[in-house]
Amino acid sequence: MQGSEDVLSESAVPPGAAGSVDVTGTVRVFGPASLSNLGPGFDAIGLCITGIGDVVEARLDAAPGVRIEAIEGDGGVLPTDPACNTAAVAAQTVLDALRVEQGLVLRICKQMPNGSGIGSSAASAVAGAWAANVALGRPLDKEDLVQAVLSGEQIASGARHGDNVLPALFGGLVLVSASDPSRYRRVRLPKALPIALVLPEVRVFTKAARDMLPAQVPLRDAVHNAGELAFLVDAFHCGDWETVGRCIMQDRLVEPVRATLVPCYDAVRAAAMDAGALGCALTGSGPALFALAETAAAAEQIVEAMVDACGRTGFAARGIVTSVDPDGVRVV
């Protein structure tokens, strides 16, 4: 495991980074999707996944600040005001920390639906921050960008949650403090983990799903979740996917409440288990559900069953077979 409490501050700025930077051309950065909560780990754990994410292109500009040139794939719903856009806010935080004179022009290509539960806003935030860093010549490491990506995520969710944005930044499995998301630990997984992911055509926004949660919970349920999260983390570390699958279905605090927002939840979860899944749960606030499989071939069968079940409830869905992305945000 690795731990860090790094923040993006003036102490992180390399000597000579401030002022004018002579870097030309356009950089293209991929911000991957992520799964969060993973059953009992509300706001405390997230997993970066392959095959889906957002792309941000950036180029330096003579005018200071960040400007959004275009957003594609969002259906016209995302703000182009840089003060209200996750990618732009994260990029601006990098510019401010490095004290450069130039600005940045962004083009954002959304390749995942908003309000899906797989970290759409987080993917854009990490892509914006990393694109700014790369355009400026890579003066910062990923560890130096934690506060920048948290600032971007705050624009979308209303708070500095790290359970999507930090896995998207670093890759792999990340544990994060819910009270201080600049505290995190990265857990290296010992082997591949096939994942079946279903994206129903139902939109659930994080803030609304968070507002519906109870302010107080029974002590016995809190203790239950704490124990299951402990087993979950150890099972991930050991590569015990059967135990991971069992643990992700043990949440008593959050998923039972949020499942009411996803009309196909019960049918999809039952279909996944009938098809041989090791476990199935909501990711984030939903509506996306993920299931763990023993092999990639099994994941193909499971995702087909999940999509079919979703259709039988009257909702179209997109199915994806994915796995753990160990690298996180990167240039493409």
What is the per-residue pLDDT across 46-78, written as a single tens digit (0 to 9) for each?
999 999 999 999 999 999 999 999 999 988 889
- pLDDT value, residue 238: 97
Same domain? For 36 and 173 the reply is yes
As a whole number of angstroms, the distance between CA 262 and CA 293 comes to 22
Over residues 73-94, mean pLDDT: 94
* Mean predicted lDDT score pLDDT of the chain: 91
As a whole number of angstroms, the distance between CA 95 and CA 139 comes to 11
Domain end point (choices 137, 154, 188): 188
Binned at pLDDT 50, 70 and 90, residue 114 comes out as confident
- pLDDT value, residue 209: 77
Same domain? For 21 and 154 the reply is yes
- Kindly name the residue from 93, 206, 283, 322 that is annotated as catalytic: 206
- Kindly name the residue from 57, 86, 93, 153 that is annotated as catalytic: 153
Same domain? For 205 and 285 the reply is yes
Residue 327 forms part of a structural domain = no
Same domain? For 68 and 96 the reply is yes
* CATH number, position 111: 3.30.230.10
Same domain? For 90 and 225 the reply is no
Count of structural domains within the chain: 2
Same domain? For 239 and 276 the reply is yes
Over residues 118-141, mean pLDDT: 96
Residue 107 forms part of a structural domain = yes
Burial code (b: 16+ CB inside 10 Å, e: under 16) for 46-74 equals: bbbbbebbbbbbbbbbeeebbebeebeeb
- pLDDT value, residue 203: 77
- pLDDT value, residue 23: 52
Is residue 313 among the annotated active site residues? no
Residue 4 pLDDT greater than 70, yes or no: no
Residue 332 forms part of a structural domain = no
Same domain? For 251 and 208 the reply is yes
What is the per-residue pLDDT across 34-51, written as a single tens digit (0 to 9) for each?
999 999 999 999 999 999
Domain end point (choices 158, 188, 218): 188
Same domain? For 183 and 206 the reply is no
Residue 220 forms part of a structural domain = yes
- pLDDT value, residue 159: 80
| Domain span including residue 84 | 2-188
Is residue 153 among the annotated active site residues? yes
- pLDDT value, residue 211: 82
Taking the whole predicted model, whether its pTM rises above 0.75 is answered as yes
* CATH number, position 300: 3.30.70.890
What is the per-residue pLDDT across 176-188, written as a single tens digit (0 to 9) for each?
999 999 999 999 9
Domain end point (choices 188, 216, 235): 188
Same domain? For 175 and 250 the reply is no
Residue 330 forms part of a structural domain = no
Decide if 134 contacts 31 (C-beta within 8 A).
no
Same domain? For 108 and 225 the reply is no
What is the per-residue pLDDT across 192-204, written as a single tens digit (0 to 9) for each?
999 999 999 987 7
Residue 71 forms part of a structural domain = yes
